[in-house]
Amino acid sequence: MAVQDLMPTWVGATAKQIARGVRRGDVSATQVVADHLDHIARADADLAAFRAVRGGEAITEAEKVDEQEELANLPLAGVPVAVKENTAVAGLPTWHGSAAVRSAVAEADHEVVRRLRGAGAVILGVTRMPELGLWALTDDASAVTRNPWDPRRTPGGSSGGAAAAVAAGLVPMAHGNDGLGSIRIPAACCGLVGLKPGRGVVPCQLGADDWFGLTEHGMLTSTVADAAVGFQVLAGRPQEKLVPPQRLRVGVSLRSPVRGVAPDAPNRDAVAAAGRLLAAAGHDAVPADPVYPTSLGLAGLATWFAAAAADVRAAGLDPRALQRRSRRHVALGEWAQRRGYVRESDRVAWRERSVGFFADHSVDLLLTPALAGQPPEAAGWSGRSWAANMKASIRYAPFAAPWNIAGLPAIVVPVGRRPDGLPVAVQLVGPPGSELLLLGVAGQFEMQAPWARHAPGYPRVGTGSPAVA
């Protein structure tokens, strides 16, 4: 019997379908949450997407949603949501992907969790991430998080548990955050939509200083419509609606930000496929390569190292308690800061250059590959050397980081599959304030070339079920 044959009806529905069903009285939030908790109990042992599941607490939370007299203004009424484990959820410790960094039980929700709950969402638990969110690979000594599309492969990182949970239908949407690609990389690995908002659009408030302003909160979803409502909730902009974009001029680039790392054939083909989708939607796709100076790479590395060191100092941690790979990262961060290699002026200069790119090339958006290669194996990367982790993370996922340094919005959207059956995706980058435009173009991709919302063998909503009625 296939996994989906065992699933209750509402497992596999989209967030928008669930919220509509709860608001109309077709199903209770309590039943939806119970269904998803049952699915997690059956499926997550193989995936290790969750660090902790809230079980009875989530049921109680769902009951409170059902007791509300007015649900019309709750865009996520009864929707089960997971939160990344570095973001405070009242009543749970905040793990940060590390036994050494785990903080005490949070007394209050982080602002983004408060906004999710205020929209009617029910927090089912927290999802796994690599230590301090430093790597594009998700595992630790307790478990290896696996990609539902191929359990031999990583779901990416650092929001790897969140991506695995959505791709397997454990939740219809999951919170993540993105400091150098940590939403977009897992979204690409797992065939999901992942939007990183621009700087300052969603309150961040993580660690010492949000990784020098590089980090943003967002959602991982299986549809663009869910991505849009998730963004609207986190940004506190519920009235904004997607509209089909008018004719756009989109720059297309295969140029890698990392010298010596180039996209493989499936990722190049994905960009070509996206170019055809743009043309079919009435847009113009033109060659336009950003110039990635060597100084950008050096500044990016120094900031990455120093962000880890700053978080460790702010938490009052002994670096010797960290994993070997993270200890080296922190030590390099301390060195980079002492030598003066971490400079706000460098980040400001790259942001100005990035914003100017759109005017200089007369383009509205930029299209790039999402990844350069196949997601690495799902393995015990937490026990491997710093060099091995750096090489693996940078070689397969070089395209995301520049846009964190620039503070520009960017989205990853699926466009097909690799020959090995894994999803393949592209990245769209826009100027400040273009989040809804990016979502609108992603929606045009979805309409023309719909993707599988879940990995094979995991739940899908059947024809005629209440979830799609």
Contact 110, 87 (CB under 8 A): yes
Asked about 16 being catalytic, the answer comes back as: no
pLDDT score, position 242: 87
Considering the candidates 158, 253, 382, 393, report the single residue annotated as catalytic: 158
Share of the chain above pLDDT 70, in %: 96
Q: Over the stretch 337-365, which tens digit does the pLDDT of each residue have?
A: 999 999 999 999 999 999 999 999 999 99
Integer Cα distance of 343 and 278 in angstroms: 38
Give the model's pLDDT for residue 8: 52
Confidence at residue 467, expressed as pLDDT on a 0 to 100 scale:
47
Residues 6+ positions from 205 with CB-CB distance below 8 Å: 110, 111
Tokens 């938490």 belong to residue: 315
Which of 98, 159, 182, 434 is catalytic? The answer is 182
Distance between CA 121 and CA 431 in Å, rounded?
A: 30
Q: Would you state the structure tokens that stand for residue 89, as one six-digit string?
A: 């959820």
Block residue for tokens 């002492």:
338
Assess whether 182 carries a catalytic annotation. yes
pLDDT digits 0-9 by tens, 118-127: 999 999 999 9
Which residues of the chain fall short of a pLDDT of 70? 1-8, 460-469
Q: Quick one: angle between helices 344-360 and 294-314, nearest 10?
A: 130
By CB neighbour count within 10 A (0-12 exposed, 13-18 middle, 19+ buried), where does 269 fall? middle
The confidence score (pLDDT) of residue 4 equals 45
Q: Per the residue annotation, which of 84, 196, 326, 382 is the catalytic one?
A: 84
pTM: 0.96
Tell me what pLDDT residue 241 has: 84
- How far apart, in whole angstroms, are the C-alpha atoms of residue 250 and residue 362? 9
**Is residue 446 within 8 Å of 440, Cβ to Cβ?**
no
Domains along the chain with CATH numbers? 3-288+355-468 (3.90.1300.10)
